[in-house]
Amino acid sequence: MYNCIICRYHEIATKGNNRNMFERCLADNIRHLLSGVAPCRVLRVRGRIWIEHPEGRDYTDEEISGMIPALRRAFGVETFSPAVRIASDMDAIRNAALEIAPPVFEGRPDTVTFRVRARRSNKRFPMRSKEIEIDLVSAVAGLFDHRRFKLDLDHAELTLGCEVRDEFSLLYFDTYEGPGGLPVGSNPRVLTLLSGGIDSPVAAYLVMKRGSPTDYVSFHSYPYTPAETTDKVKTIAAHLNTFQATGKLHLVNLLELQKAVRDNCSERLRTVLYRRAMFRIAERIARETGCRALVTGEALGQVASQTLVNMDTINRSIDMLVLRPIVGEDKLDTIAVAEKIGTMKISEKQVPDSCTVFAPSSPSTSVPLVIAEKEELLIPDYAGILERAVASRETF
Ligand code: ATP
Ligand code: MG
């Protein structure tokens, strides 16, 4: 019964001169997310994004149910509603309300509380919002036994929304929440250091939500870590890519570097030295592939490598912006996001992690930069090891 979906955005509307770019980006992303789900034409109409069937016909219930989960992944969308579009004419609006109301009320037991919320941006329309609401409430009420039908302006179970615009009017019952944020692609591409853990997938999600598409780099220590380690990361990356046009995954074997650190450096420094090498390799890949920043799932103080001093020592291995979207989050809050976006059930699976290969039982929580730099000088052909790691990466 619906012939369109109307998408509302919030933050984009506050953009000045760039607003056009953000809207175009959002419309492109919606086209991408809906391709293969339902035929659609995506249009921009004054402050809204508008989806309709290219042949101008109604959508089927199946098509609408397929489009809802896709639009929930469209960063930039605040809310959206499947709707009926009609002419801005009170008779047409009332008739449409009488058509769409019965199936929505059907099957609800006992008393149904109901209200109408009307908005009028077309100031030449002869009725005011309140008058439109009263007209529609009495029309819909006429369809039902008065004992079953109850008007409730504050806590209604069913709300009929009505927007009267210049070009046309809209009626809808259900409003769904989008993810908010900014359309992915409205900021430059970044490279996320993706482990199989809980935190880095959430970090990748959050930068996408702020507009940056992301590629991924993940380090493994094959054959010291099993194939399941990289399989898990591939599954996570594939899931994260449902929020954006495909990002690439680079898999880098860190084992040669880890052996060199084991054989030449002080045991308690291994974790920080691994991490500095990871950053350096990631920076090279980012520059080679046009990514403008690195992203990690680091959270201040969470483990030995994430104390303030160690984060600083790791950070100074490179000369590129590092985004840490969850640096101040509690683990429980990060887990809640991971549950919501669907990465938790993949991350939960226990598989060996590259960082644990030759890991010290008691890693230093405070490695000064000068010490890390001195230790790295003890590694023969350190530059060559990094170069080989970058060159031999596999990209998916
Ligand atoms: P996560 O849950 O993301 O694994 P964590 O809390 O376990 O994070 P660490 O293992 O110390 O923390 O890792 C901190 C960050 O370093 C990760 O969030 C990730 O961005 C990066 N990182 C760690 N291990 C790897 C890896 N094997 N490959 C790529 N990046 C990694
Ligand atoms: Mg980890």
Integer Cα distance of 187 and 179 in angstroms: 17
| Domain around 278 | 190-395
Q: Are residues 157 and 249 in the same domain?
A: no
pLDDT at 359 over 90: no
Strand arrangement, sheet containing 394-395: 322-323, 294-295, 190-193, 214-220, 249-253, 394-395
Position 119 in a domain: yes
pLDDT at 151 over 90: no
Among 129, 151, 177, the domain boundary falls at 177
Name the band, by pLDDT with cuts 50, 70 and 90, for residue 395.
very high
pLDDT at 390 over 70: yes
pTM above 0.85, yes or no: yes
Q: Are residues 146 and 250 in the same domain?
A: no
Task: Identify the pLDDT of residue 152.
Answer: 84
Position 54 in a domain: yes
Q: Are residues 203 and 153 in the same domain?
A: no
**Ligand 1 centroid vs 307 CA: distance in angstroms?**
14
Task: Identify the pLDDT of residue 123.
Answer: 86
Return the SS3 of 259.
helix
Name the band, by pLDDT with cuts 50, 70 and 90, for residue 380.
very high
Task: Identify the pLDDT of residue 147.
Answer: 67
Return the SS3 of 276.
helix
Position 184 in a domain: no
| Interval 173-186 mean pLDDT | 95
pLDDT at 67 over 70: yes
Q: What percent of the chain has pLDDT over 90?
A: 80
Name the band, by pLDDT with cuts 50, 70 and 90, for residue 373.
very high
Position 366 in a domain: yes
Task: Identify the pLDDT of residue 304.
Answer: 76
| Interval 248-266 mean pLDDT | 97
Ligand 1 proximity of 306 Cβ (cutoff 6 Å): yes
Q: Are residues 170 and 197 in the same domain?
A: no
Which helix or strand (DSSP H or E) is residue 394 part of?
strand 394-395
Give me the torsion for CA of 214, 348, 225, 378, rounded to 10°.
Answer: 60
Candidate ranges 73-82, 151-160, 299-308; pick with highest mean pLDDT: 73-82
Among 144, 177, 210, the domain boundary falls at 177
322 neighbors 186 (Cβ within 8 angstroms):
no
Name the band, by pLDDT with cuts 50, 70 and 90, for residue 146.
low
Task: Identify the pLDDT of residue 110.
Answer: 72
- Tell me, what CATH number does 290's domain have? 3.40.50.620
Q: Are residues 59 and 207 in the same domain?
A: no
Position 141 in a domain: yes
Atom 17 of ligand 1, residue of closest alpha carbon: 297
Ligand 1 proximity of 135 Cβ (cutoff 6 Å): no
Q: Are residues 215 and 171 in the same domain?
A: no
359 neighbors 270 (Cβ within 8 angstroms):
yes
Ligand 1 proximity of 197 Cβ (cutoff 6 Å): yes
Ligand 1 proximity of 194 Cβ (cutoff 6 Å): yes
Rounded to the nearest integer, the mean pLDDT of the chain is 93
Task: Identify the pLDDT of residue 235.
Answer: 98
Task: Identify the pLDDT of residue 377.
Answer: 97
Q: Are residues 12 and 161 in the same domain?
A: yes
Q: Are residues 198 and 294 in the same domain?
A: yes
**Ligand 2 centroid vs 298 CA: distance in angstroms?**
9
Q: Are residues 46 and 157 in the same domain?
A: yes
Per residue in 91-131, pLDDT tens? 999 999 999 988 888 877 778 888 999 999 888 999 999 99
Among 116, 146, 177, the domain boundary falls at 177
Return the SS3 of 169.
strand
Ligand 1 proximity of 218 Cβ (cutoff 6 Å): yes
Write out the two tokens for 387: 């170069």
Q: How many CB atoms lie within 10 A of CB 65?
A: 13
Atom 7 of ligand 1, residue of closest alpha carbon: 197
**Ligand 1 centroid vs 298 CA: distance in angstroms?**
7
Chain CA centroid to CA 42, Å? 20
Q: What percent of the chain has pLDDT over 70?
A: 99
Q: Are residues 270 and 301 in the same domain?
A: yes
Task: Identify the pLDDT of residue 184.
Answer: 96
| Interval 141-151 mean pLDDT | 78
| Interval 68-90 mean pLDDT | 95
Domain count, the chain: 2
Position 182 in a domain: no
| Interval 72-84 mean pLDDT | 96
Position 364 in a domain: yes
- Tell me, what CATH number does 135's domain have? 3.30.2130.30
Position 287 in a domain: yes
**Ligand 1 centroid vs 196 CA: distance in angstroms?**
8
pLDDT at 143 over 90: no
| Interval 352-378 mean pLDDT | 92
Q: Are residues 170 and 229 in the same domain?
A: no
Task: Identify the pLDDT of residue 47.
Answer: 83
Ligand 1 nearest atom to the CA of residue 306, by list position:
11
Ligand 1 nearest atom to the CA of residue 193, by list position:
30
Cα end-to-end span (Å), the chain = 42
Task: Identify the pLDDT of residue 154.
Answer: 85
pLDDT at 150 over 90: no
Phi, psi dihedral angles at 132 (to 5 degrees): -65, -45
Name the band, by pLDDT with cuts 50, 70 and 90, for residue 45.
confident
Ligand 1 proximity of 195 Cβ (cutoff 6 Å): yes
Q: Are residues 137 and 17 in the same domain?
A: yes
75 neighbors 179 (Cβ within 8 angstroms):
yes
Task: Identify the pLDDT of residue 354.
Answer: 86
Question: Mind giving me the DSSP string for 124-189?
Answer: TSSS-HHHHHHHHHHHHHTTS-TTTEEE-SSS-SEEEEEEE-SS-EEEES--EE---SB-TTSS--
